[in-house]
């Protein structure tokens, strides 16, 4: 009798225990996150912060293993491997010891509209009164005050640097190893081609230049001489070498929050379209390849078109083609002084 009386009690106890086990199966916010957390953060995630512009490798939206409700071992949804404003390594509810908000945040950069007026002046002093929305000026020869003056007039500013040639008048000329310097660049005394296959040796130099561009406040980057694979460089460069180098340049610029343009390299424009934010052409009307850049316009990315007055072209005809292709055309002296002519 006593045994029979205990059966209902035992069954009730088993049901109660099962219910508790079911409730406890949901992961706690500080020990791996919720299903929503998992959707928000994957390995190398895509949130608004993280190492190299990504959210934390091990971070969770509301905390990771060993962290608190808002801070995990490897950061939170707004931080990366070095921690975030919401919590770093071994973080607490209000912050960790390994980072600050935005210290490794995702980069964004200027994306110019398809139609924009522009000026390209590589000599100095730069005339900041030219009526143009975008200025392309030399990175080494202009300090931050020039960029600030243009920004004060609501202009965007691009820094020019050569990425495919060595120049004997640049302050970092001695940083280039001898083995990456090739043949003379025809028509440009004191300039030689670079071996773009050796990215590991060129990277520290080019990255230092980009860092300087960024520190001066520039919005974008024009890397010159990034179509040299068909030239007599002194190196057996291939189209694949050029693609690899140009993609690396684009990624390095974007990692610094810099917009970047594809300079000429029309034969690879389709393959590089997704990596670059705009294009800059020289003599495309004179040489008959402006249409090769139409993919940029179709993708909502501008093409800044420059023709030179020493070719003898009829600039009005160039303007007609530019209008039909939606390119932004100007006529310049080849030494790129302040003078320019714009289309009507």
C-alpha pair distances (Å), 274 with each of 188, 226, 255, 295: 31, 16, 15, 10
Domain residue ranges in the chain = 1-106, 118-342
SS (H, E, C) 297-323: HHCCCCEEEEEEHHHCCCHHHHHHHHH
Residue 284, pLDDT score: 99
Compare 242 and 39 and report the one with higher pLDDT.
242
Among the ranges given (7-21, 117-131, 270-284, 311-325), the one the predictor scored with the smallest mean pLDDT: 7-21
CATH number, domain 118-342, options 1.10.3720.10, 3.40.50.300, 3.40.50.1860, 3.20.20.70: 3.20.20.70
**pLDDT value for 57:** 37
Q: What angle do CA 325, 328, 333 make, to 5 degrees?
A: 125
Strands (E), 102-143: 118-121, 134-138
Check pLDDT > 70 for residue 72.
no
Q: pTM of the full predicted structure?
A: 0.71
- Per residue in 163-208, pLDDT (tens digit) is 999 999 999 999 999 999 999 999 999 999 999 999 999 999 999 9
What's the pLDDT tens digit per position in 196-229? Answer: 999 999 999 999 999 999 999 999 999 999 999 9
Question: What are the beta bridge partners of residue 121?
Answer: 137
CA dist 169 → 9, 141, 189, 208, 334 (Å): 93, 11, 10, 17, 19
Q: How confident is the model at residue 107 (pLDDT cuts 50, 70, 90)?
A: confident
pLDDT at site 303: 99
**Two structure tokens written together for 202:** 């060129």
Long-range contacts of the stretch 235-244 (C-beta < 8 A, 24+): 235/182, 235/193, 235/195, 235/196, 235/197, 237/195, 237/196, 237/197, 239/267, 239/268, 241/196, 241/197, 242/196, 242/268, 243/268, 243/271, 243/272, 244/199
Largest distance between two CA atoms of the chain: 115
Q: What confidence category does residue 145 fall into, taking pLDDT thresholds of 50, 70 and 90?
A: very high
- pLDDT cut 90: percent of the chain above it: 69
DSSP 85-104: TTB-TT--SS--TT--TTTT
Mean pLDDT of 21-44: 37
Q: How many CB atoms lie within 10 A of CB 154?
A: 7
Would you tell me how many other CB atoms lie within 10 Å of the CB of residue 304? 25
Q: pLDDT digits over 84-94, tens only?
A: 333 333 333 33
**Residue written as tokens 């343009």?**
261
């Amino acid at each position: 009798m006593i045994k029979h009386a205990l059966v209902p009690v035992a069954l009730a106890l088993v049901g109660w225990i099962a219910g508790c086990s079911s409730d406890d199966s949901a992961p706690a916010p500080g020990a791996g996150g919720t299903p929503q957390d998992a959707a928000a953060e994957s390995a190398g995630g895509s949130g608004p912060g993280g190492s190299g512009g990504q959210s934390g490798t091990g971070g969770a939206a509301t905390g990771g293993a060993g962290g608190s409700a808002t801070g995990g071992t490897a950061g939170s949804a707004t931080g990366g491997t070095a921690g975030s404003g919401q919590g770093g390594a071994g973080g607490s509810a209000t912050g960790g010891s390994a980072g600050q908000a935005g210290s490794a945040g995702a980069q964004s950069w200027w994306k110019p509209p398809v139609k924009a007026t522009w000026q390209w002046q590589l000599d100095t002093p730069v005339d900041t009164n030219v009526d143009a929305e975008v200025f392309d000026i030399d990175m080494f020869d202009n300090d931050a005050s020039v960029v600030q003056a243009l920004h004060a007039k609501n202009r965007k500013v691009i820094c020019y640097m050569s990425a495919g040639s060595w120049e004997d008048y640049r302050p970092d000329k001695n940083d280039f190893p001898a083995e990456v310097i090739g043949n003379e660049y025809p028509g440009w005394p004191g300039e030689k081609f670079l071996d773009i296959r050796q990215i590991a040796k060129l990277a520290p130099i080019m990255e230092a230049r980009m860092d300087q561009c960024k520190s001066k406040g520039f919005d974008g980057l024009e890397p010159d001489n990034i179509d040299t694979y068909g030239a007599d460089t002194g190196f057996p460069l291939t189209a694949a070498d050029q693609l690899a180098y140009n993609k690396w340049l684009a990624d390095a610029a974007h990692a610094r929050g810099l917009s970047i343009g594809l300079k000429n390299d029309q034969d690879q424009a389709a393959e590089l379209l997704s990596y670059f934010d705009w294009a800059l052409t020289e003599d495309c009307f004179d040489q008959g390849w402006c249409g090769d850049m139409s993919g940029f316009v179709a993708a909502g990315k501008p093409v800044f078109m420059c023709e030179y007055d020493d070719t003898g072209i009829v600039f009005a005809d160039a303007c007609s083609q530019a209008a039909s292709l939606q390119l932004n055309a100007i006529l310049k002296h080849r030494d790129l002084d302040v003078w320019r002519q714009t289309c009507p």
